[in-house]
Amino acid sequence: MKQNTHVVIMAGGIGSRLWPVSTPENPKQFIDLLGTGKSLIRMTFERFLPVCDISRFWVVTSGKYAGKVREQLPDIPEDHILSEPEPRNTAPCIAYACRKISVKNPDANIVVTPSDAIVLNKEKFIDVIDKALDFTSDSSSIVTIGIKPDRPETGYGYIKAGGDVSTGVMKVSEFKEKPDVRTARKYLADGNYYWNAGIFVWNVRTIMSELGKYAPGISKVMDRLEPYLYSDREAVALKELFPLCDKISIDYAVMEKSTDIYVIAGDLEWSDLGSWAPMMKYIPAAGDGNRIVGGDVRMYDCRNCIVHASNENVVIVEGLEGYIVAHNNGNLLVCRLSDEQRIKDFSQNKSK
């Protein structure tokens, strides 16, 4: 373990595409989505334990989720659980965490990760993270983690890579938004496009410099906040200043503009579990391609369905193929897997 390494876990999202199991009151990162006995944030925390000491783990989350983080990750220092007074997307949350780290460790080398992904190839994952940390420790470069695609996925952003700079480290030539099916097939065939896992590695001087260059408004807010960090006035200052930050992702604020970004890619058996379909791969089949989590679920003449139920529920499903059936807290979803990208709209809009 390297003494200057820190891990920042972002845990403020609400996972609206996994409604009704994931809700604003209890979003997906705090739920045992796969029936493993562990929440996604707990799995993320444990995945990074070989990277650095627990005393250098940080979590940035919404103020209303801070209690859930303390409950599920009791080993992380309480003052390392950073509560956003309101959601402003990933650039401000990353700026806040990195600025706070920089005050006490100006030589910090930082991994920033979402809290809601799954990685099955853990040993290779740690090798990739270690390689990225070595690359950024004494350079001004940013390294992002790419996932070698195994299908023409339309639900992920992509990273286009150039030639190798050193073994396994490639210059990023472009970030691509979520493509249509035709474009995704082209990316897969070309062989130099990788899924963007949303995991970033940099030293703290680099990210502060890049934010100052490409997101000066956010950087100036952090300048005003810095004198209050680690004081009893931090929470009050944060509540006043944080909402002044632009509401923007780190991808738009920095990654798509910086000229010094590299990617290390691997087949890590990764998924961001942002919607129901990716979960099919990680839940053991219960016969006829069906996947079941929780509850007393009884299926008849069903194929290739996923059923997620609260443990106290009896759920009976008959005659469906390729459907999502999810029940939680009195809310029920029955939706074709092919239409899962519409679930967010379904849950927010009443049918006419």
Cα distance between residue 30 and residue 80, in whole Å: 18
Cα distance between residue 33 and residue 27, in whole Å: 10
The secondary structure of 262-318 as a DSSP string is EEEEE---EE---SHHHHTTTS-B-STT-EEESSEEEEES-BS-EEEE-TT-EEEEE
For residue 165, pLDDT over 60 is answered with no
Q: What angle do CA 212, 213, 218 make, to 5 degrees?
A: 40
| Single-letter amino acid code for the residue at 222 | M
Identify the three-state secondary structure at position 38: coil
Query: What is the chain's mean pLDDT, rounded?
Result: 92
Candidate ranges 1-5, 97-101, 189-193; pick with highest mean pLDDT: 97-101
For residue 318, pLDDT over 80 is answered with yes
Contacting residues for 240 by C-beta, under 8 A, at least 6 apart: none
Cα distance between residue 155 and residue 158, in whole Å: 10
pTM: 0.93
pLDDT at position 243 is 97
pLDDT at position 352 is 46
pLDDT at position 62 is 95
Q: Give pLDDT tens digits for 276-302.
A: 988 888 899 988 999 999 878 999 999
Cα distance between residue 339 and residue 265, in whole Å: 30
The domain ranges of the chain are 5-271, 276-348
For residue 350, pLDDT over 70 is answered with no
* The CATH number of domain 5-271, selected from 3.40.50.720, 3.40.50.300, 3.90.550.10, 2.170.190.11: 3.90.550.10
pLDDT at position 267 is 86
The whole-number average pLDDT for the span 132-157 is 92
Q: How many CA atoms lie within 13 A of 135 on its CB side?
A: 27
pLDDT at position 344 is 86
Identify the three-state secondary structure at position 323: strand
Comparing 233 with 287, which gets the higher pLDDT?
A: 233
Share of the chain above pLDDT 70, in %: 97
